[in-house]
Amino acid sequence: MDKLVTAAIVVVVVPGALITYIWGTEQVLRLLPERLKPTVRPWLWLAPALLFLAIFLIYPMIGTIIHSFQNHAGTQFVGLDNYVWFFGSEDALTSLKNNALWLIFLTLFVVGFGLLVAVLVDRVRYESVAKSVIFVPLAISMVAASVIWLYMYEYKPPGTEQTGTINALIGTAGLGPVPFTQVQQFSANTFALIVVMAWMWTGFGMVIISAALKGINPELMEAARMDGATEWQVFRGIIFPLLVPTLVVVSTTMIITALKAFDIVFTMTNGNLGTNVIANQMYAEMFKFNQYGRASAIAVVLLLAIIPIMFFNVGRFRQQEAVR
């Protein structure tokens, strides 16, 4: 019965409320002087979205910031103790280091392979089929992708039959087996996790970059080829410079995604063996150790890391709009 009531609310009440609000907005605007309508109308249309942001984003953010200055139970203020713990904890610093690796290499892999695939696929006959195949991993949930790659990376001791796909393949060449998710030297296991995320998101980078590639005037490239330019010179002198704004957008998106990395780490290693990241550290402090103050401090650090990137992205968007 509860599910039926919920479904009725979603299907009937919410659209009805939206229609009522639109009708009411127009009635209010009719009562206003003509000179005020252009100023008031945008705010009336933005009001629901602003209210939604205030309730589900701004209010929780303020609450999290306040909790970050409180003790584990949120009963008294402890000043900057939670932040001192974070920047003095070896586990937290390991999480920061790993997030830096995610930020750098996930962005490089997705942008690099996305650009490579977009340029190459643009030249094949069955372009749509090839793009669909490469884009499919993005439709898989991160947990499902993690389970898939756990089987891909599965490791058995030497001398026993390898059931992991990759170890079975390299075993045919007389190599391995390799404990991909257990090797801590040079953060090799962290790179193994980054590969999983890159496998998923390369299709996203390919689609965005490919769309920008289609927007380049082919006459520019043809003119360069007629003047004797090689394909590499065409790419370096025409294609790449014109794709830079799109590459920046994809890069900032992947940087934010890397900073929020959680599902793959939680599913594949649970942060063990030196693979922990900030989001997983926050989850453990809150739900495993009941340290709400420390978890809130980690959330604030993550927020502060993402905000400059968001402002940069907004600034780039405004510059592009000004050019248009």
Does residue 3 surpass a pLDDT of 80? no
Report CA-CA distances (Å) from 212 to 10, 74, 197, 263. Answer: 38, 49, 23, 30
> What digits encode the pLDDT tens for the residues 212-270?
998 888 888 888 888 888 888 988 888 899 999 899 889 988 998 998 899 999 999 99
Q: Count CB neighbours of 40 within 10 A.
A: 14
Q: Residue 112: its pLDDT value, please?
A: 94
Does residue 19 surpass a pLDDT of 70? yes
Q: Residue 29: its pLDDT value, please?
A: 84
Averaged over 173-199, what is the pLDDT?
90
> What digits encode the pLDDT tens for the residues 38-54?
888 888 888 888 988 99
Secondary structure of residue 4 in the 3-state scheme: helix
Rounded to an integer, what distance in angstroms lies between the CA atom of residue 177 and that of residue 103?
A: 29
Q: Residue 324: its pLDDT value, please?
A: 58
Rounded to an integer, what distance in angstroms lies between the CA atom of residue 67 and that of residue 156?
A: 45
Q: What is the pTM of this model?
A: 0.85
Q: Residue 279: its pLDDT value, please?
A: 92
Report CA-CA distances (Å) from 227 to 230, 245, 321. Answer: 9, 27, 33
Fill in the amino acid letter for 194: I
83-323 has CATH 1.10.3720.10 classification: yes
Does residue 97 surpass a pLDDT of 60? yes
Residue-averaged pLDDT of the chain: 88
Rounded to an integer, what distance in angstroms lies between the CA atom of residue 10 and that of residue 233?
A: 56
As to burial, measured by CB atoms within 10 angstroms (0-12 exposed, 13-18 middle, 19+ buried), residue 232 is: exposed
Q: Residue 100: its pLDDT value, please?
A: 93
Q: Count CB neighbours of 123 within 10 A.
A: 8
Q: Residue 317: its pLDDT value, please?
A: 72
